[in-house]
């Protein structure tokens, strides 16, 4: 989407961090923004800030894990905007999740409910608003560099599991929408200075309500060997990706080595399979039982 001025966007997790950074970047580019967040007071403050830039802005209090709420939000946004052009699925939660087999099911239901099903709920509800006008648009799903590898320092298995799913969801959407003029980006940042670590304070009652994380829980800021960028820097990166129709969108060049290391493990698996098949073929040719 080379020309985004005057377009309309819907952004989840919009009251702080990356979400607010995306809203600010879009507003500076002349995009009208509907902001959604689970916390009303920060949402109201964010809406006032974005509206003060001169674009149309309004807020929708929303728990993306609740599909019925998402559908109602889509009705509201459709009625206020008419056409929707940009969907930014940014709402997300995290928690310390190692060892994996000790994580309570309720915690897994929550993180999958927000990070995976929340993204899917919004795609189901809002992509039709982009398709309806037939003028194209763009979807940005916020995953993480953790959606491409499980960091051995963070040991953030459940979070990475959900972000792997967001990457696969984005790849699927890109194929599904390729002929409709709707671009798809999957945002895979490393460390961003956000309030994601406060996720425990925002857990809905149906998932057990707010709770206090276990003492000594590892945080990304303590162990990740990268410098944190600001939410505004992340937002500008996303805006550029929308305009340039990028698919994989990264922030930290240091993380290239992490992905290359995982790729080496994958290639090693293929190499081992080649040797296995060659041995099987050799055994067959010499008349030996390959088993």
CA torsion sign, 154 to 159 to 162 to 167?
A: negative
Which residue in 14, 31, 18 sits closest to 243, CA to CA? 31
Are 191 and 220 in contact, with CB atoms under 8 Å apart?
yes
The token duo for 79 is 């009625």
Q: For residue 228, is pLDDT > 80?
A: yes
Range with the poorest average pLDDT among 62-66, 131-135, 190-194: 190-194
Containing H/E element for 89? strand 86-89
pLDDT at 291: 58
CATH topology of domain 8-251: Rossmann fold (3.40.50)
Active-site pick, 7, 45, 71, 163: 163
Given a cut of 70, whether residue 216 has pLDDT beyond it is no
35 neighbors 23 (Cβ within 8 angstroms): yes
7, 71, 135, 159: the active-site residue: 159
Confidence category of residue 108, pLDDT binned at 50, 70, 90: very high
Q: Which two tokens stand for residue 187?
A: 């945002």
Domain boundaries, the chain: 8-251, 255-291
**For residue 33, what are the β-bridge partners?**
9, 57
The token pair at 143 is: 């995953």
159 classed as catalytic? yes
Edge-to-edge strand order for the sheet containing 248-250?
Answer: 57-61, 32-37, 8-12, 86-89, 137-142, 182-188, 248-250
- Assess contact for 83 and 133: CB atoms under 8 A: yes
Q: What is the pLDDT of residue 154?
A: 78
Cα 98 from Cα 110, distance rounded (Å): 16
The pLDDT-based confidence of 225 (bands split at 50, 70, 90) is low
Confidence (pTM): 0.93
């Amino acid at each position: 989407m080379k020309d985004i001025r005057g377009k309309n966007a819907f952004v989840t997790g919009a009251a702080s961090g990356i979400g607010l950074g995306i809203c600010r970047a879009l507003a500076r580019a002349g995009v009208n923004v509907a902001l959604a967040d689970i916390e009303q007071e920060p949402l109201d403050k964010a809406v006032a800030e974005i509206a003060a830039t001169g674009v149309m802005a309004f807020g929708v209090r929303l728990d993306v894990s609740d599909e019925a709420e998402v559908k109602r939000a889509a009705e509201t946004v459709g009625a206020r905007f008419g056409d929707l052009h940009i969907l930014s699925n940014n709402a997300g939660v995290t928690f310390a999740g190692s060892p994996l087999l000790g994580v309570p099911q309720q915690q897994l239901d929550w993180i999958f409910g927000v990070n995976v099903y929340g993204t899917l709920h919004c795609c189901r509800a809002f992509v039709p608003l982009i398709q309806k006008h037939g003028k194209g648009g763009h979807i940005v799903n916020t995953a993480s560099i953790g959606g491409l590898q499980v960091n051995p320092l963070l040991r953030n298995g459940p979070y990475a599991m959900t972000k792997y799913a967001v990457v696969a969801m984005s790849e699927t959407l890109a194929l599904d929408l390729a002929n409709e003029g709707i671009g798809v980006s999957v945002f895979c940042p490393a460390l961003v200075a956000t309030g994601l670590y406060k996720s425990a304070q925002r857990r809905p009652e149906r998932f057990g309500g707010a709770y206090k994380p276990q003492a000594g829980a590892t945080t990304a800021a303590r162990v990740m060997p990268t410098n944190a960028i600001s939410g505004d820097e992340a937002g500008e990166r996303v805006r550029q990706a929308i305009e340039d129709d990028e698919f994989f969108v990264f922030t930290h060049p240091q993380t290239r080595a992490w992905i290359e290391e995982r790729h080496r493990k994958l290639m090693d698996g293929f190499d081992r399979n080649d040797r296995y098949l060659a041995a099987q073929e050799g055994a067959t040719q010499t008349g030996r039982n390959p088993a």
